[in-house]
Structure 1
Amino acid sequence: MFTSVLIANRGEIAVRIAATVRARGLRSVAVYTDPDAGSPHVAAADVAVHVDDYLDGAAIVEAGLRAGAQAVHPGYGFLAENAAFARAVTDAGLTWIGPPAAAIETMGDKISAKAAVAPAGVPLVPGSSEKGLTDAELADAAREVGFPVLLKPSAGGGGKGMHVVEREADLADAITAARREARGSFGDDTLLLERYVTDPRHVEIQVLADAHGAVVHLGERECSLQRRHQKVVEEAPSAVLDEKQRDAMGRAAVDAALACGYVGAGTVEFVTDADASEFYFLEMNTRLQVEHPVTEEVVRVRGQRIDLVGEQLRIAAGEPLGYDQDDVTLSGHAVEVRLYAEDPARGFLPTGGRILALEWPGNTRVDAGVAAGSEVGSSYDPMLAKIIASGPDRLVALDRLDAALAGTTVLGVGTNLAWLRGLLADADVRAGRLDTGLIGRRPTPDQTVPADVVVAAALDGLLRLPDGGETGDPFDRLGGWRLGGEPAPARWTLVPVGVERPEPIDVAVRGRPEDATVTIADGEPRPASARRDAAGLVVTVDGLTRHYRTATRADGVTWLGRDGAAWALRERERLAAARTAGGAGDGAVTSPMPGTVTVVEVEPGQHVEAGQRLVVVEAMKMEHVLTAPIAGVVTELPAQAGATVALDAPLVTVTPQSDTEAGE
């Protein structure tokens, strides 16, 4: 039996595991890198050990031995599905809280996984899963299976390197990109190809297996709401499965676990058609899943809630499950959303920055890996937290989750929070008509700043001035003193921050904050008032009173949040100075996110066409291809493969051909 557990991970899952370790009277050991020295997962542990790299398995094992750990829990991520790391842990005399290394190897490769489960009768998607297929062989297989097809890395998961190819003309580029992404993410560019199931649902089964041959499943989770093959919303149970379908899929998952000699907590993933009348094995994740909380919220074992991390600890300690399939029941419904540092209006590109203000909803489960003051960079996954709500049925759970999101505030870092509220309100989502392409069909979010937020920003600025913009000296008044007349209005030009094409907003304010008139652009004057209370800013405009949280960065950018949404605004003068320093132009290509340049496809002096690929930037496991905005010649190329770049860093400048000729 072990009494001390090293958690080989970071963020919300490390905090989550530490809570169960402590609840069971065990000692927890965290590891951290320099950027994470003040992170919540460090504070949650009893002991913390510095490492240079979370993916350095040898350093992690050495840290555990140095801290006196007796077991290692990998959480999820790269090390959790790394058979070599599992062996290194056990070779060091530590207990591995996970499946056997052989099972990780078998199921960690999609090709060998299919070969393992096929004899057990687990249904497979039609396709080609031979090892070592060349690009030409993949193309032949695609033509045989028929388009659309899905390219997938044989190693790894998480949607990285997956490409849906609708037509043969796009296949060569997709194979090249998939191999590059697979090689970068998993060190293995082996690909497999499958028939792409149109309008598919993604349903997975949670299994538990002990070292004594017992295996049970804990029902299903529906994970069909995805963007770029990354899950965003998960729920349990599925909105479509009936008891017969659940039993069939559950038995297939148990068979898959038995086929590879599985021990521990794992997830068998399936793709289904719209009504789940057919389902096919996708892969087995040999670890705890990000979405495990929804299973914990609805599963009862002999009437008691289940703690999946606690079950992992028991199994690793050699204990039998102590229950069978008949003891497992489902009660109610649970839905989870993943809160990401990303911008849905810009293709879900990662964002970043320091969290200036943070407020979680009450009476709601939140698994978070950040706190106020946390710095969100580009080195790690952009997920900040998971927010989970449950209820007696699906609609109640959705309503409670929406209320929880409305009560959440994150200022300082752009997130998908407001977008999640819109997604949950979608008619198809409410009705349970889900498929993995639903998010891709939704319109791009509107980036317009609501009028009430503009008013609030102006009045917030007024409140921050000495004496609300009024002083004893009439010449010092904000609006300007006029002989024989009332003061001129205070004027601001506010510019939204973090949007692609920001439009300046002119605002004029007369009066004091508690009794003002606000005019936006050429609109009608609006009576308004503002005051501060313990919770933040209270503004009344157009007869409606709203509450806002506010925070101002050192560079003058002001953040305002309400009802789960947040906006960042900057005064125009500061923005103009920043733009002048940046030297932007029509042919300037800048980094849309902080990250690393992985590919540079052009050279100085090269002629390019509009839309031609120039540079690939990667951040938080996401690639973004930058293309030429105009036709012309590459006149500046500061981008270098392997270089780290900041948000809006200049990468390439394309000058129109006529301009370059004129300068000769």
Structure 2
Amino acid sequence: MTTTPRTSHSPATVLVANRGEIALRIIRTLKRMGIGSVAVHTDADAGAPHTLAADLALRVDGYLDSGAIVAAALESGASMVHPGYGFLSENAGFARACAGAGLVFVGPPASAIEAMGDKIRAKDTVAAAGVPVLGGFAEKPGQPLDDDALLHAAAETGYPLLLKPSAGGGGKGMRAVHAPDDLVAAAAAARREALASFGDSTLLVERLVRRPRHIEVQVLADGHGNVVHLGERECSLQRRHQKVVEEAPSPLLTAAQREAMGGAAVAAARSCGYTGAGTVEFIAEASRGDGEPELSFSFLEMNTRLQVEHPVTEEVVAIRGGRGIDLVELQVRIALGDPLPFGQEDVSWQGHAVESRIYAEDADRGFLPTGGPVLALSEPSGARVDSGVAAGGEVTSAFDPMLAKVITWGPDRAEALRRMDAALGAYVLLGCVTNTAFLRRLLRHPRVAAGDLSTDLIETDPPEPASGALPEHVYAAAALDHQLDLEPGGAGPSADRFATPDGWRMGGPAWTPWRLRAPRHDSAVVRVRRDGAAGAPGAYLVRVDDGAPVAATARRSADGSRLTVTHAGRTRTYARADDPATGHRWLGAGGTAWTLHEEPVAAALRDDDAAVDGTVRSPMPGTVLAVPVKVGQAVLAGTTLAVVEAMKMEHSVPSPFDGTVTGVAVRPGASVPMDAPLVTVEPVRAEPADAPPDPSVPTPATREEHTP
């Protein structure tokens, strides 16, 4: 193992068995408590922010290697292990391994992890404690129901139904079934995915709640028999069954409903002998009609760890009137054997908090994962940001796509949402596409503003899509930024006045044309020239395509990281950065980042969507799992040419048209960047009406036999 020397000593030391923003979050609390911290990292994370923040950093082969992590803890002299969330945090075997090595596991006992880790067992356990559960039925491990028994049990429960793997989470393997004719095939598909994802094909079948709300309750339990709840979090804004925005408290619950749901959460925690911080998740339904809505809720699952969204609870909880709480500190103190320093009667809530998750994904392309270098990073100063990235780093496909969380608090929900919009507008990451602009549109959705939430809102009632046209001011700013390269002292290639292509000539300025292109947008030709009439340095006239000339000014900051442009009467400041690997220039403002690059004015442009040159490219950075075609093979439009995996997501890349494979550029196991060539397909060419048919090209009658 390679090590970074410890810089401080403390009476206790905690190894953080995680990475990214949660590792930094835990280390920050440990430092405040005067407790030493140890980070672990893989080769890819050798210089990651969490390794630099800890007192000591140790290399491991993988974050899921429990043996290596226990060995690292022992080598470092740590006495405790904090698992964070994800990875090994809900692994009962890891908790036992820590205890067996004499290490304190900062979490619940292994027995509680096991009891709540299996959905069927968890449901039976909490139901025995009086916690409401959804109607349904379950298979026994290793004994799947045959088709007749499955149909009979489903008929007794009633449609629609939701099929869920008993052993897993994260939405994998879940299937909604609305009619008996669909049940058998859906169950078979759910079992296959459950077996592949979790090694267990056992299914839990429950009544499907229409327009459900996902509400969870934070609980704390110590080793002295004290259990309290800290109120609820609304987590209904989700995509692909994964949370996007969370808030506390829920805009749905009344004080009486909060007390009832909190009481059920406490009962669930007691039922499994829980200690530490945990979350009990419920599916809630609110009746519609006049007067106060009635609420029904049912147990969903218990997360036996700290949740990603725990900051919103920390922001609103008030203990004996003092707002704010540190759940990580309470976890550590409970693990050390301390009793909870307060009771349920001491807990109240102040104001409202919202959390937005910043993901490395392109929301306008079906939330496909992205990646790339962190060329520049600007985070809002008026909000809490729990981040795991830093300028100079790299966002890869090896880990979860969540990069950071932005948290705002306000005296009421409207103010918290207003502050969130401002914070997201101030968050700009250049070099990697993020979902920040989508989050702003989502939070402005009329239903979100009204608190009318459901877990299917993004899917069934999405926010307004981003404009298909790139704003003219972005093209203008990019052209002006390139133009500044040609100014004296800029990045131009020559100091020879007659060799610098900036439009200067004897007798007056001329137009300098720039052709600029951004992914999935049309190119624009922007012409720039000095504005001689203005007489001020940095004054230009700008024409975007065939538009009228517009007066503009442009200047860069001393360090080159900012570009301030006045165009059409409005002044905007953009974050800017150049990617030396691609030659692309990035600009960002208002929470949105654009990558633009200059092309020769007469360049032919590749159409990303139609792939007219026959080269099919990777829609995201990731690992090639399969290439089920070979050179010479005839394919149809929609035939899968390759399967790429990134950040827990598989994506099948289809052929854009009927044709023949003429080239395969990758093999299974290869790592590819976004837009990397995968397969080349020669399209079927239309034959003249009097030409004989080509037997090598599939016809409609013979297509099926050519399908892979």
Q: TM-score range by the shorter chain?
A: over 0.9
What is aligned with 1:451? 472
What is aligned with 2:517? 495
One-letter identity of the residue aligned with 1:431: A
**Structure 1 range deviating more: 147-156 or 225-234:** 147-156
One-letter identity of the residue aligned with 1:496: A
Contact 2:104 2:335 (8 Å CA) reproduced? yes
Contact 2:513 2:601 (8 Å CA) reproduced? no
What is aligned with 1:377? 396
The equivalences for 1:291-440 within 5 A come to: 291-304=309-322, 305-440=324-459
Query: Which of 523, 537, 549 in structure 1 is aligned with 2:563?
Result: 537
- Deviation of the 1:182 alpha carbon: 3.5
SS in 2 for 1:278: strand
Contact 2:514 2:601 (8 Å CA) reproduced? no
Larger % of helix: which? 1
The percentage of aligned residue pairs carrying the same residue is 57
One-letter identity of the residue aligned with 1:66: E
The equivalences for 1:11-160 within 5 A come to: 11-132=20-141, 133=144, 136=147, 141-142=153-154, 145-160=157-172
In 2, Cα distance between the equivalents of 1:74 and 1:114?
Answer: 25
What is aligned with 1:528? 552
CA 301–226 in structure 1, closer or farther in 2 if over 3 Å, else same: same
In 2, Cα distance between the equivalents of 1:562 and 1:494?
Answer: 18
In 2, Cα distance between the equivalents of 1:662 and 1:482?
Answer: 62
CA offsets 1:300-323 (integer angstroms, 9 cap, x no match) = 222333211111111111111142
One-letter identity of the residue aligned with 2:557: D
In 1, Cα distance between the equivalents of 2:81 and 2:204?
Answer: 32
SS in 1 for 2:328: helix
What is aligned with 2:674? 647
RMSD: 3.0
In 1, Cα distance between the equivalents of 2:13 and 2:156?
Answer: 54
CA 510–592 in structure 1, closer or farther in 2 if over 3 Å, else same: same
In 1, Cα distance between the equivalents of 2:396 and 2:146?
Answer: 36
- Deviation of the 1:610 alpha carbon: 3.1
Query: Which of 573, 581, 597 in structure 1 is aligned with 2:624?
Result: 597
In 1, Cα distance between the equivalents of 2:601 and 2:86?
Answer: 41
In 2, Cα distance between the equivalents of 1:41 and 1:138?
Answer: 48
What is aligned with 2:275? 263
CA offsets 1:437-489 (integer angstroms, 9 cap, x no match) = 11122143334321111111011111122426798866324255668x64431
- Deviation of the 1:363 alpha carbon: 2.9
Contact 2:486 2:500 (8 Å CA) reproduced? no
One-letter identity of the residue aligned with 1:205: V
CA offsets 1:30-49 (integer angstroms, 9 cap, x no match) = 00111111111111111110
- Deviation of the 1:232 alpha carbon: 0.6
One-letter identity of the residue aligned with 1:553: D
The equivalences for 1:509-524 within 5 A come to: 509-511=528-530, 514-524=538-548
Aligned length: 660
CA 374–481 in structure 1, closer or farther in 2 if over 3 Å, else same: closer
Q: Which has the larger radius of gyration?
A: 2
Q: Does 1:506 align with 2:525?
A: yes
In 2, Cα distance between the equivalents of 1:189 and 1:507?
Answer: 58
**Structure 1 range deviating more: 365-374 or 166-175:** 166-175
In 2, Cα distance between the equivalents of 1:244 and 1:601?
Answer: 57
- Deviation of the 1:189 alpha carbon: 3.5
CA 114–654 in structure 1, closer or farther in 2 if over 3 Å, else same: farther
In 1, Cα distance between the equivalents of 2:177 and 2:651?
Answer: 18
Q: Does 1:217 align with 2:243?
A: no
What is aligned with 2:579? 553
CA offsets 1:168-200 (integer angstroms, 9 cap, x no match) = 666566556544544454333433222221111
CA offsets 1:188-218 (integer angstroms, 9 cap, x no match) = 3433222221111100000111112211111
Q: Does 1:475 align with 2:498?
A: yes
What is aligned with 1:285? 303
What is aligned with 1:248? 260
In 1, Cα distance between the equivalents of 2:193 and 2:599?
Answer: 40
CA offsets 1:380-405 (integer angstroms, 9 cap, x no match) = 01111111000111111111111111
What is aligned with 2:240? 228
Query: Which of 172, 176, 195 in structure 1 is aligned with 2:207?
Result: 195
In 2, Cα distance between the equivalents of 1:506 and 1:281?
Answer: 58
CA 466–91 in structure 1, closer or farther in 2 if over 3 Å, else same: same
- Deviation of the 1:490 alpha carbon: 0.7
SS in 2 for 1:81: coil
In 2, Cα distance between the equivalents of 1:276 and 1:367?
Answer: 36
In 2, Cα distance between the equivalents of 1:81 and 1:152?
Answer: 18
One-letter identity of the residue aligned with 1:320: P
- Deviation of the 1:145 alpha carbon: 4.2
- Deviation of the 1:128 alpha carbon: 2.5
Contact 1:608 1:633 (8 Å CA) reproduced? yes
CA 170–379 in structure 1, closer or farther in 2 if over 3 Å, else same: farther
CA 644–532 in structure 1, closer or farther in 2 if over 3 Å, else same: closer
In 2, Cα distance between the equivalents of 1:176 and 1:524?
Answer: 62
CA 164–648 in structure 1, closer or farther in 2 if over 3 Å, else same: farther
SS in 2 for 1:524: coil
The equivalences for 1:561-640 within 5 A come to: 561-573=588-600, 585=612, 588-599=615-626, 608-634=635-661, 636-637=663-664, 640=667
- Deviation of the 1:663 alpha carbon: 6.2
Contact 1:162 1:229 (8 Å CA) reproduced? no
What is aligned with 2:689? none
**Structure 1 range deviating more: 122-131 or 257-266:** 122-131
Contact 2:358 2:402 (8 Å CA) reproduced? yes
CA 300–424 in structure 1, closer or farther in 2 if over 3 Å, else same: same
One-letter identity of the residue aligned with 1:391: G
One-letter identity of the residue aligned with 2:296: E
In 1, Cα distance between the equivalents of 2:615 and 2:496?
Answer: 48
SS in 2 for 1:16: helix
In 2, Cα distance between the equivalents of 1:422 and 1:411?
Answer: 20
In 1, Cα distance between the equivalents of 2:638 and 2:152?
Answer: 29
Contact 1:267 1:285 (8 Å CA) reproduced? yes
Contact 2:177 2:183 (8 Å CA) reproduced? yes
- Deviation of the 1:429 alpha carbon: 0.9
Provide TM-score, normalisation by structure 2: 0.87
In 2, Cα distance between the equivalents of 1:47 and 1:199?
Answer: 48
CA offsets 1:500-548 (integer angstroms, 9 cap, x no match) = xx31111111116712111111111111110123571111111111111
- Deviation of the 1:407 alpha carbon: 1.6
In 2, Cα distance between the equivalents of 1:27 and 1:575?
Answer: 61
Contact 2:139 2:203 (8 Å CA) reproduced? no
Contact 2:624 2:672 (8 Å CA) reproduced? yes
- Runs of 4+ in structure 1 deviating by more than 6 angstroms, as ranges, are 468-472, 574-580
In 2, Cα distance between the equivalents of 1:55 and 1:530?
Answer: 50
